[in-house]
């Protein structure tokens, strides 16, 4: 009696579905304005031209994921924004150096390929690339049975940006510069392990709470188009992407020695979702260390440029003064309290 042959499919991996997904990506990426000059999707490596308009270009790279926000997406079966988060977490880091996002690649790992779910994720990644004005040039989808639980997945992104050597935002901060906070769209993609801990502890079901369903899945704001225009105009001396570690830990990364970012927390315009979290028993110190608390991005500028900067932003995301640069050996000083 002949035994049945072992196959990759029997182990839980479907090459056929993987090929269908690659074909889908290839077709959908062709429709974007930034699909590029080469047919990269499905190849072994992505090929792209180096822009000819740059005289002394430098490469800036960033890689990131969206953390356990993917668990929220899974719970409420909403995958239409999570790809925007993935792009945002990478490209918002690039512009801190003054770089324009140019290329993006994604990595998706799943327990089992679900074409409908993956297509929704991919559409949102492409949407994020369009907002950031960069090209999706490739990626990888890995079906890994036994590594992930049923319906579980993970995302990672890689971005490459370009900046003229003379436009790098470095060592330009001066005493008496203003620190401006740009509003966040919400939690962005940080602190979700604490959020999920609270949901579990309080026995809160997201599908029964429309406020949380809406707030927790809001995509991370992509600040690229605003910040790059300000850099071109030479209106800002530095900037910081406020992600994990909160306001203090991120802004101190761009403050030079012997200068200090003095921030008045009472100036911060927080959002309803942060007030909701604070009311669930999180200390102010923990809130500030874990979440952006309403400030998604910071700009450091000369006071004379403040009103000019405001013209580049829509009402919802207009920057406002939260502090100033002073002389000190301590890089960040926080005063006041957020009005929760």
Which of 308, 291, 328, 85 lies closest to 180, judged by CA? 308
For the chain, the structural domain boundaries read 10-42+57-166, 178-186+221-335
With contact defined as beta carbons under 8 Å apart, do 61 and 194 qualify? Answer: no
User: So what's the pLDDT on residue 97?
Assistant: 96
Topology annotation, domain 178-186+221-335: Phosphoribosyl-aminoimidazole Synthetase; Chain A, domain 2 (3.90.650)
Over the stretch 214-263, which tens digit does the pLDDT of each residue have? Answer: 999 999 999 999 999 999 999 999 999 999 999 999 999 999 999 999 99
For tokens 């997406």, the residue is 73
User: So what's the pLDDT on residue 192?
Assistant: 97
Which of 108, 103, 63 lies closest to 82, judged by CA? 108
- Which of the residues in the chain have pLDDT under 70? 1-4, 6-15, 17-18, 21-22, 24-26, 29-43
d(C-alpha 232, C-alpha 205), whole Å: 46
Q: What is the pTM of this model?
A: 0.90
With contact defined as beta carbons under 8 Å apart, do 201 and 266 qualify? Answer: no
Topology annotation, domain 10-42+57-166: 60s Ribosomal Protein L30; Chain: A; (3.30.1330)
Q: State how far the alpha carbon of 136 is from the alpha carbons of 94, 125, 161, in Å.
A: 16, 8, 13
């Amino acid at each position: 009696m002949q035994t049945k042959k072992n196959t990759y499919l029997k182990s839980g991996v479907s090459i056929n579905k993987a090929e269908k997904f690659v074909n889908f990506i290839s077709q959908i990426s062709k429709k974007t304005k930034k699909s590029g000059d080469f047919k990269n999707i499905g190849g072994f490596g992505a090929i792209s031209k180096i822009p000819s308009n740059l005289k002394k270009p430098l490469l800036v790279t960033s890689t990131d994921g969206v953390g356990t926000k993917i668990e929220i997406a899974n719970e409420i079966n909403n995958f239409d924004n999570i790809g925007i988060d993935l792009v945002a977490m990478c490209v918002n880091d690039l512009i801190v150096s003054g770089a324009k996002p140019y290329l993006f690649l994604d990595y998706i790992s799943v327990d089992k390929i679900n074409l409908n779910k993956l297509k929704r994720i991919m559409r949102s990644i492409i949407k994020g690339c369009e907002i950031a004005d960069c090209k999706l040039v490739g990626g990888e989808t890995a079906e890994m049975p036994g590594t992930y639980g049923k319906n579980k997945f993970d995302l990672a992104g890689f971005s490459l940006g370009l900046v003229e050597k003379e436009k790098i935002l470095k060592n330009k901060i001066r005493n008496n510069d203003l620190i401006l906070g740009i509003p966040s769209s919400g939690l962005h993609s940080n602190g979700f392990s604490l959020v999920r801990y609270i949901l579990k502890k309080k026995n809160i079901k997201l599908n029964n709470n429309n406020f949380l369903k809406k707030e927790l899945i809001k995509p991370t704001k992509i600040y690229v188009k605003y910040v790059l225009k300000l850099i071109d105009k030479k209106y800002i001396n530095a900037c910081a992407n406020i992600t994990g570690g909160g306001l203090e830990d991120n802004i101190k990364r761009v403050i030079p020695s012997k200068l200090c970012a003095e921030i008045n927390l009472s100036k911060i315009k927080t959002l309803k979702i942060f007030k909701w979290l604070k009311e669930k028993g999180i200390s102010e110190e923990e809130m500030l260390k874990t979440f952006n608390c309403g400030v998604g991005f910071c700009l450091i500028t000369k006071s004379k440029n403040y009103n000019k900067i405001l013209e580049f932003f829509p009402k919802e995301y207009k920057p406002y003064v939260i502090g100033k640069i002073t002389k000190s050996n301590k890089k960040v000083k926080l005063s006041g309290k957020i009005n929760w």
